[in-house]
Structure 1
Amino acid sequence: MIEWVLFALLGAGLGTVGGLFGIGGGLIAIPALSVLFNLDQQLAQGTSLVMVVPNVLLALWRYHQRNRIEARHAVPLAMAGFVCAWLGSLWAVGLDAQKMRLGFVAFLVVLAGWSLLLTYLRSRPPSAQMRYRWPWLGVLGGVSGLLGGVFGVGGAVVATPVLTGVFGTTQVVAQGLALALAVPSTGVTLVTYAVHHHVDWNMGIPLAIGGLLSIGWGVKVAHALPEKHLRALFSGFLVLCAAILAFKV
C-alpha cells in the first residue's frame, strides 16, 4: 500500500510536467523509472505508457477546452501516427536494451538542440494557422509515430518542435495537436509492449492515478506562460531527461 502511495505521488509530479509540455509525462517517467527503480529500457517505456495513455486523453481534452483543436489537422496526424507507432513498437521490443537507451539519449539531445535553435532563430511570429497541411501533416504523423513507438514517448515530443518551427504554430497549439497524435499511437504502443511482457502494471496503475489528478495543473500553467519561456523550458526539459538517463548508460 505504501508503495502505491509513493508511485501515485511520483505520478502526480510526472503528470504535472506532462500537462505543461503536452507529452503525457512519459518522457520524464522513462529516465525516472530507469534510474530510481533500475528497470531496463523496454520495461521502463512500457510501464510509463500505463500512465501516459490516460494522461494524454485528459490533457487533450483540457487543451481542446482552452484552445480548440482542428479535426482536419489532428486526424491525418493521428492516423499516420497510429500505423507507424505500431510498426515502431514491434521493432522496439526486440532491440538490445543498452543500445536502445543510448539511442534514446541521442534522440533527446538532438531534439533539444533543434527546439532551442527554433526558439532563438525564428524569424516569423507564430500563428494558429498552418503553413502546410495534408499530406505534410501525414508525413509528420508517420515519422513522429515511428519514433514514438520505438522510444515509447507517443510521438508528441517529436511533433511539437516541428509544428512550431516548420508549420509555424504557437507552442500551445502545437502541444494540443501533438496530444491528438499521441492518443492512438500511445495506445497501440502500450498494447504491443504489454503483449511482449514489458509492462509492470503494479507500478503503472498508481502512476496513472497520480498523473490524472495533477495533469490539469500543468495544462493551466502552459497556457499562462509566455510563448518563448514555454519553448525554452521544453528544450531544457529534454536536456534534463537525456542527462538523467545518461547516468544509466
Structure 2
Amino acid sequence: MKIERNRALILMAFGVGAGLLSGMFGLGGGIIIIPGLMFALKMDQRLAHGTSLGGVFLISCASFVTYWTHDEIDWRVVLWLSIGSVSGSLIGAKLLSIVSKKTLTVSFIAVLVIAGVRMFFEIDASGVMIIDALTVVWLIVIGVAVGAIAGMLGIGGGLM
C-alpha cells in the first residue's frame, strides 16, 4: 500500500496522539487510531477496527512497562481480569464480523460518550481492594464484557 506524504504525516500525528493518550490516561489509543485510519487512509471501518488492535497492543505494551516500573499495577486484578478479557476479546472479534457497520459506528460512539461522561465523576479509590470469591467472579465478568467490547471495537480496555 503506497501512502502519500501528507497522509503519512496525518497518520504519524494520530499515532503520536494515541501514544500520548495511552501514557497519560491509560487509554489504548484506538479512539484516535480508528478515525485516523478511516480519515487518512480511507480504510474500511471493519479493517480499521481490526488494524487498530495491532497499534493498541504495541502502545499498551510500552505504557505497561512504564506503569510496571513505577509499581502501579495490581497483579491480582490483572490475573482475574485477564482470564475474562481474553475470552471476551475472542467473542468481540467474532462480533466484529457479524454486526452491521451502522451498529459498529453507533457502538463506538456510545463507548466514547459514556467514557467521556464518566470522566466528570470522581471515583473514590481510597480503599484497599479485598480479593474474595465474589470479587474474583466480578473481575472475570467485567473482563469478559470489556474484552468483548474492546475486541469488537478495536479499542483498549482502559477506556472502559
Tell me the TM-score normalized by structure 1: 0.55
What is the correspondence of 1:118-197 to structure 2 with a 5 Å cutoff? Answer: 118-119=121-122, 122=123, 125-127=124-126, 129-130=128-129, 133-158=135-160
Q: Does 1:51 align with 2:55?
A: yes
What does residue 115 of structure 1 align with?
Answer: 119
- What's the counterpart of residue 185 of structure 1? none
Q: In structure 1, what is the equivalent of residue 106 of structure 2?
A: 102
**Quick one: structure 1 residues 112 and 5, their matched pair in 2 at CA, closer, same or farther if it must change by over 3 Å?**
closer
CA distance in structure 2 between the aligned counterparts of 1:79 and 1:95, rounded to whole angstroms? 25
- Alignment match of 1:73 (pick from 77, 89, 102): 77
Q: Secondary structure at the match of 1:93?
A: helix
Which residue number in structure 1 is paired with residue 34 of structure 2? 30
Name the amino acid aligned to 1:129: V
Gaps of 5+ in 2: none
How far did residue 62 of structure 1 move?
0.5
| Deviation of 1:11 (Å) | 1.6
Q: Does 1:15 align with 2:14?
A: no
**Are residue 82 (structure 1) and residue 81 (structure 2) matched?**
no
8 Å CA contact retained: 2:88, 2:147: yes
Q: Which residue identity is paired with 1:82?
A: V
Identity of paired residues, percent? 28
5+ long unaligned stretches in structure 1: 159-249
Higher mean alpha-carbon deviation, 32-41 vs 100-109, is at: 32-41
Secondary structure of the residue aligned to 1:80 is helix
Instruction: Give the deviation of 1:5 after TM superposition.
Output: 5.4
Query: Offset at 1:137?
Result: 1.3
* Residues 148 and 156 in structure 1, CA contact (< 8 A), matched pair in contact too: no
CA contact (8 A) 1:85 1:154 kept: no
CA distance in 2, matches of 1:10, 1:102: 22
User: Which structure has the higher relative contact order (CA within 8 Å, separation 6+)?
Assistant: 1
2:98 partner SS: coil
Q: How far off is 1:84 after superposition?
A: 0.8
Q: Report what 1:246 is aligned to.
A: none
Alignment deviations for residues 110-133 of structure 1 (CA, whole Å, 9 cap, x no partner): 2322332x32xx5xx422732663
1:82 Cα shift? Answer: 0.5
Residue 145 of structure 1 and its aligned partner are, at CA, apart by 0.7
Q: Deviations over 1:181-203 (max 9, x none)?
A: xxxxxxxxxxxxxxxxxxxxxxx
What letter matches 2:30 in structure 1? G
The worse-fitting range, judged by mean Cα deviation, of 82-91 and 8-17 is 8-17
Superposed displacement of residue 13, structure 1: 2.8
Give the length in aligned residue pairs: 153
